[in-house]
Amino acid sequence: MVLASIKTVRNNKPMTVSVIIPAFNEEKTVAHVVSVVKSLPYIGEVVVVDDGSMDQTSKFAEEAGAKVIYHMKNRGKGAAIKTGFKNSKGDIVVFLDADLKNLTQSQVRNIVDPILNGEADVTKTKFKREAGRVTELTAKPLLKFFFPEIKFDQPLSGQFAAKRSFLNKIKLEDDYGVDVGIVLDADVMGMKVKEVDIGKIDHVLSTLTELNVVATEVVRTIVDRATAYGRITMIDSLGQYIRMEILGLSLASMGIFSIFFIRFVSFYVGLAIAIIGVIIAIYYIIKIVRISFNVFSRTDGNMRNLKTFLKMHSPIIVSAMILLAMCTTLLGSVHFEGGKVSIQPVSRNLIIFNSPTNNQTVDVRGPYTVDKALENENTSIRMPTEALATLELNYGDSIYINNEKYVLNVTRPKEDNTMRIPNAALTSMGLNPGDVISDGDLRNRFNNFYAEKALQTNGNSDNINITEGTILTNNMQSGYNINLYLNNTLVSSSYGIIKNGSYSIYINDVKYKTITLNPDNLNQPYTVVIGDDIFKIEFGTPLMTDMEFANSSSGKFLNFIY
């Protein structure tokens, strides 16, 4: 009895054996294979995976005594093997094809016994057969090139066995690459692999079309494993140069970024990283250009070659663009003053929302460079559109700095991020030409300044303009929405913080009336009579804002101008 010769044990118990038989339309032979396997006393279970057969494969396998698992559609040999493996329990798993016409007990024993006796972790078979075209013309040349240490006579044989402990650690392919994939994984992982001769085996011969599919899947598996196990890297000079070029560009970018933005990295460490990166990048770009020169030296297929070149070198192009963008940004922050060169990069601000009515917006703003006002522009401030949006003002509005009125004006061409401010205002604000203000710091610079802003009105009030006095603040507080009605028609709206106190209403810059406001009396409307027109001021819903309505001591709450 064979069981008596078993030497290998697990937890002091003989190792159990499962047999997996992937089958696709094999009704003529599957019962024979199952019967031979079932006749061996140490086979614990036989699992046939019917991979979407359209004949009676499942029926005959089950009648022969196998456990049958059925795929609804054909998924490939490897997928069937994986299904069988997941649904088996044996310590040793044997894989047999279902189309073996003359399989014998001794052939199965030759596959299993070396593992049971501790001679191998994996067994591969070789046998006499009529065909072996994929093996000789595809598999062996590739294996010789990428895995020269593997010298099996028939590396693609579908009859093999392996310990479950090993199979649990590897990836089983879903197609015909499963056989050679197991052999390659076993070799790389240092498993004991033994090729055993099982004599003559008769297979159902495959057509040339079927062999083409097998060859394609075998080639893919071998190349994938060669890539995964570093066999291609060792011979791929261009790939190595590309990786080193990207490394150099990345180091240069990291070094420059460290100098300006990472405080715990010293200047000299960041500089050293950047210099090393530049040297590596220059060295390997020269090598890449030499190898890739033939792409442009050919006169035929230039467009196709260019596409190949761009696809191959796109990581380098992107890395170079990142480095170029960073250097361009830093060069744009260079200032020369008094023989001193200063580089002061200031980040832009990403605004996700900024409207007190909760209208979502996305905007990128700043930074802004401060400069002197133009000649004869002592009463105006030129300010970028993004800065106005942050201050919640518009062109034509006015800001008072140290009691001096400055009208907000558009920037000059090509000065989109420049703020031109008169000298008197610069002094009051503590600014100097060349200073850079981030968008996030802008409201701090204008904090508590009084501004007069024009309110937008609808077409029913073309002959009347309305301005509002507001105090710019740098923190959000609870405020209120106000609605302005002309003869019971809504013509404008605004919002702001209201504090207890008096607020003055003007008509044509002349004080018309003063009202006393506090959060308790905002439920009543206030009216302004201008000729035959009646303006009504209503306070609406609470909201959060950083704009404060100017009280009587600060300026004009509302000014109606005919």
* Tens-digit pLDDT profile for residues 485-502: 888 888 899 999 998 899
- pLDDT in the model for residue 70: 92
Angstrom distances, CA of residue 173 to CA of 79, 95, 183, 444 = 7, 14, 12, 63
Q: Which two tokens stand for residue 340?
A: 């001193």
Continuous H helices in 406-522: 423-429, 439-445
The Cα–Cα gap between 160 and 369 comes to 74
**Res 13: pLDDT:** 67
Pick from 147, 239, 238: nearest CA to 193: 147
Tokens of 24: 């696709």
Number of other residues whose CB lies within 10 A of the CB of residue 409? 17
Q: Residue 321's pLDDT is what?
A: 87
pLDDT at residue 2, as a whole number: 37
* Residue 311: per-residue pLDDT: 66
Picking from 402, 399, 403, 469, the residue whose alpha carbon sits closest to that of residue 419 is 399
Beta strand pairing status for 193-200 and 380-382? unpaired
Residue pair 468/452 in contact by the 8 Å Cβ criterion: yes
pLDDT confidence of residue 152: 79
3-state SS, one letter per residue, for 424-439 = HHHHHHCCCCCCEECH
Rounded-to-integer distance, Cα 132 and Cα 443, Å: 80
**Whole-number pLDDT of residue 439:** 85
Tokens for 139?
């598999």
Rounded distance between C-alpha atoms, residue 554 and residue 23, angstroms: 90
Residues of the chain under the 50 pLDDT cut: 1-8, 131, 299, 301
| pLDDT reported for residue 155 | 74
Each residue of 285-315: b (16+ CB within 10 Å) or e? bebbeeebeebeeeeeeeeebeeeeeeebee
Any idea how long the chain is? 562
Q: Give CA–CA dist 370/435, Å, rounded.
A: 5
HSE-up of 61 (CA within 13 Å, CB side)? 31
Residue 235 has a CB neighbour count (10 Å cut-off) of 11
Rounded distance, CA 543 to CA 474, Å? 16
